[in-house]
Amino acid sequence: MGKIVKDACILFAITLVAGILLGGVYEVTKAPIANQNEKAKQEAYRAVLADADSFEELDGVDVTKSSDILAATGEDYSADEITEVVAGVKNSKIVGFVITVVAGDGYGGDIKYSVGVAADGTYKGTSILSISETAGLGMRAKTDPAFLDQLKDKVVKKFNLVKDGTGSTADDKVDAISGSTVTSKAVVKGVNAALAMYQNLSEGNVKTVGGATIE
């Protein structure tokens, strides 16, 4: 019995010391990891809204209520979720927004990406953060710039996907990726959700936590 108690005490001591050491390591690495994550996030923002010098949170904007905003458009955005919205700022003015969307109706599951929209409504770019579509098909939404480049510098309230493959000339038309209509539809619909969110923000005289406004 005495040996069992002794072994238990030794095991407890080892566990306690290990826990203290792990806690210490966490405290030491927490700040550098947070800084690195923030740097990566800022770079992702800048990739879709290069005109901004910095990015700030919006004052009083609750993204958890974005589903209500999307529902009010009359479009079916039930598979899309807006998870984050920040404002791009330059010279103390809002020059655009970065809106992060999760499209839940991709062929391989969720597709998460950030959409950059200038203050005047111009689509500036999309950075895909996570995607699990079929290699050589749906994955081309990320690997082939030609698909999303169709949207670049367009000012529309909504993009429309076409599947004829003839090359669309109207600003609102987007040719689907050949053989990947489901992925194409999911991405374009998520971009439209971001545009709907932008429209709501632009009409609401929003400001950042730092006091920057659109006007």
Q: pLDDT per residue over 111-150, tens digit each?
A: 999 999 999 999 999 999 999 999 999 999 999 999 999 9
Query: Tell me, what's the pLDDT at 23?
Result: 67
Contact 185, 87 (CB under 8 A): no
Query: Tell me, what's the pLDDT at 179?
Result: 93
Could you tell me which residues are beta bridge partners of residue 33? none
Q: Domain map of the chain by residue range?
A: 54-202
Q: What amino acid is encoded at 171 in this protein?
A: D
Query: Tell me, what's the pLDDT at 163?
Result: 83
Q: How far is 159 from 184, CA to CA, in rounded Å?
A: 12
Query: Tell me, what's the pLDDT at 186?
Result: 96
Helices (H), 49-122: 66-71
Contact 56, 9 (CB under 8 A): no
Could you tell me which residues are beta bridge partners of residue 109? 106
Q: For the CA atoms of the chain, what is the radius of gyration?
A: 23
Query: Tell me, what's the pLDDT at 162?
Result: 93
Query: Tell me, what's the pLDDT at 29?
Result: 67
Contact 178, 155 (CB under 8 A): no
Instruction: Please identify every stretch of the chain with a pLDDT value under 70, giving residue numbers as ranges.
Output: 1-3, 5-9, 19, 23-30, 34, 37, 164-168
Structure-token pair, residue 200: 């709501």
